[in-house]
């Protein structure tokens, strides 16, 4: 019961989302490369994604439950891996009506392309923003509280 | 005779007037050409910050800040810590949560970064926030927008040098051009290559700051899981490569880096605690 309450409070803790494998993947017993392999899922198979730990996602599939490489999954159900640009262009074709080329803005307000183009500067809001800025030292203290440690990591080009 | 003299005087005075007019125009044209040159040369840090101020004010004109000082300070702490790990740690970094339901984030030249409330609400941990802020910080550090604005303004100014020559305040014309190009750019987006670079180096920055490096890929998967026709994604999808494509690129190049730093903290609890009032 308490667990259920927790799940209701924090839906982020557990989620089941339909996903599709973009390649054949091993199912691991634990979220680690050297963990036991307990099965395999074929390419383009529908699974349910349950939680993520580092680069691993726990999934439920017809071939069993366990951990697979997070980057081997694409979300949004079967065929999701191929959705991408076509979905977007379709969206924009729908949004564009009439020969005049006027775009019907679908968002309520704020950050649609046209509203952005018509936006007038709001210097008062910018001044307000300054007061929330953190100093370098304050941010370092905040990081230490979260047990975050700065590391040397090479750039990848 | 008198009439001829009069005619000559009139002719001379009008031609000298015309000459003066011509000289004036020549000067203006030279000024305009200088300004074109100005838009093409390397922009210094001070100027970059000034341009950023105008663009940031404009974005805030499209959507104001969420009225939640605690949330704003939290995002500033996370962002400033990550920016401190970059090659430009001493810019006047500032971060703002825009009160907009759409899902997006924006980097502005000079060290200003915005994220929308809509995107923040879809996140599950501080590591995810770090991944997105890392991506935006890279845009600033690598001057992606600044270079794009410069390039766009340069083309426009070169074409308009002649007509600009007849206008009064030429400096403000150049400035207006930069701003209007900036606006257009935020509606159009950067080159794909810039976005992929920001993804790769954003992951590196988040890892340097000590976060689970999988934060950004995780947000990309969330975006991918959403309905592509969700109106909240329109601008994001218009201005960025598809999330699936971004994930492919990350997987291809970043797997070793991602895995090496995947066990670092996600700070999901701190993230949830900070956003309790808003949720």
Please check whether residue B133 is in contact with residue B113, taking contact to mean a CB–CB distance below 8 angstroms: yes
This model's pTM is above 0.90: no
Contacts A138 to B, Cβ<8 Å: 77, 80
Supply the pLDDT for residue B196: 95
Contacts B99 to A, Cβ<8 Å: 110
User: For residue A48, what are its two tokens?
Assistant: 């349910």
Rounded CA-CA distance A133/A127 in Å is 11
Supply the pLDDT for residue B71: 96
Rounded CA-CA distance A55/B222 in Å is 14
pLDDT surpasses 60 at A146: yes
Contacts A32 to B, Cβ<8 Å: none
User: For residue B77, what are its two tokens?
Assistant: 């702490």
Confirm or reject contact between A30 and chain B (CB < 8 A).
no
Q: Cα dihedral angle (B154, B158, B163, B168), rounded to 10 degrees? A: 50
Confirm or reject contact between A14 and chain B (CB < 8 A).
no
Across A29-136, the runs of DSSP E, i.e. the strands, are: 37-41, 46-53, 56-61, 64-69, 73-75
Confirm or reject contact between B87 and chain A (CB < 8 A).
no
Greater confidence (A96 vs A1) lies with A1
- Rg over alpha carbons for chain A, rounded to the nearest Å, is 23
pLDDT (tens digit, 9 = 90+) per residue, A70-128?
Answer: 989 988 644 444 333 333 333 332 333 322 323 333 333 457 777 777 888 899 999 99
DSSP per-residue string spanning B27-58: HHHHHHHHHHHHHHSPPPHHHHHHHHHHHHHH
Please check whether residue B220 is in contact with residue B249, taking contact to mean a CB–CB distance below 8 angstroms: no
Rounded CA-CA distance B241/B207 in Å is 23
Contacts B184 to A, Cβ<8 Å: 117
Supply the pLDDT for residue A8: 47
Supply the pLDDT for residue B176: 72
Q: Map out the domains of chain A with their CATH numbers.
A: 15-75 (2.30.30.40)
- Where chain B has pLDDT below 70, the residues are 1-41, 156-175, 276-279
Q: Residue B191 contacts by C-beta under 8 Å, 6 or more apart in sequence?
A: B148
Cβ <8 Å between B60 and A129: yes
> How many contacts does A have with B, using Cβ atoms within 8 A?
240
Supply the pLDDT for residue A130: 96
pLDDT (tens digit, 9 = 90+) per residue, A13-72?
Answer: 456 788 999 999 999 999 988 999 999 999 999 999 998 888 899 999 999 999 999 989
Supply the pLDDT for residue B229: 73
């Amino acid at each position: 019961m308490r667990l259920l309450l927790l799940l209701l409070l924090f839906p982020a803790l557990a989620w089941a989302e339909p996903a599709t494998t973009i390649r054949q993947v091993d199912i691991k017993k634990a979220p680690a490369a050297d963990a036991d392999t307990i099965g395999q899922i074929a390419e383009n198979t529908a699974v349910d994604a349950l939680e993520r730990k580092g680069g691993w996602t726990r999934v439920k599939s017809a071939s069993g439950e366990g951990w697979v490489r997070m980057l081997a999954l694409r979300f949004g159900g079967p065929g999701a891996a191929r959705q991408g640009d076509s979905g977007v262009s379709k969206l924009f074709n729908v949004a564009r009506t009439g020969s005049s080329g006027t775009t019907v803005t679908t968002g309520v307000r704020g950050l649609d392309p046209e509203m952005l183009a018509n936006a007038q500067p709001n210097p008062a809001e910018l001044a307000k923003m300054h007061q929330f800025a953190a100093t370098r030292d304050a941010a370092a203290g905040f990081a230490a509280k979260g047990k975050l440690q700065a590391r040397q990591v090479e750039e990848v080009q | 005779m008198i009439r001829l003299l009069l005619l000559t005087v009139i002719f001379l005075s009008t031609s000298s007037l015309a000459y003066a007019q011509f000289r004036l125009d020549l000067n203006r044209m030279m000024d305009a050409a200088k300004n074109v040159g100005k838009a093409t040369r390397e922009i210094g840090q001070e100027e970059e910050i000034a341009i950023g101020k105008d663009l940031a004010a404009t974005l805030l004109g499209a959507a104001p800040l969420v009225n939640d000082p605690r949330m704003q300070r939290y995002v500033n702490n996370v962002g400033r810590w990550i920016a401190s790990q970059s090659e430009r740690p001493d810019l006047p970094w500032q971060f703002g949560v825009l009160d907009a339901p759409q899902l997006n984030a924006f980097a502005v030249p000079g060290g200003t970064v915005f994220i929308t409330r809509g995107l923040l609400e879809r996140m599950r941990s501080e590591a995810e926030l770090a991944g997105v802020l890392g991506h935006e910080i890279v845009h600033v550090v690598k001057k992606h927008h600044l270079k794009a604005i410069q390039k766009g303004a340069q083309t426009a100014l070169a074409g308009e040098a002649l007509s600009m020559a007849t206008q009064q305040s030429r400096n403000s014309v150049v400035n207006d051009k930069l701003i209007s190009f900036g606006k257009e750019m935020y509606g159009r987006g950067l080159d794909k290559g810039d976005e992929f670079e920001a993804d790769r180096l954003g992951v590196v920055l988040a890892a340097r700051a000590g976060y689970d490096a999988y934060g950004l890929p995780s947000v990309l998967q969330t975006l991918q899981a959403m309905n592509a026709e969700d109106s909240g994604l329109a601008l994001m999808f218009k201005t960025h490569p598809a999330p699936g494509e971004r994930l492919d690129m990350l997987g291809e190049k970043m797997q070793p880096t991602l895995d090496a730093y995947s066990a670092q903290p996600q700070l999901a609890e701190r993230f949830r605690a900070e956003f309790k009032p808003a949720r």
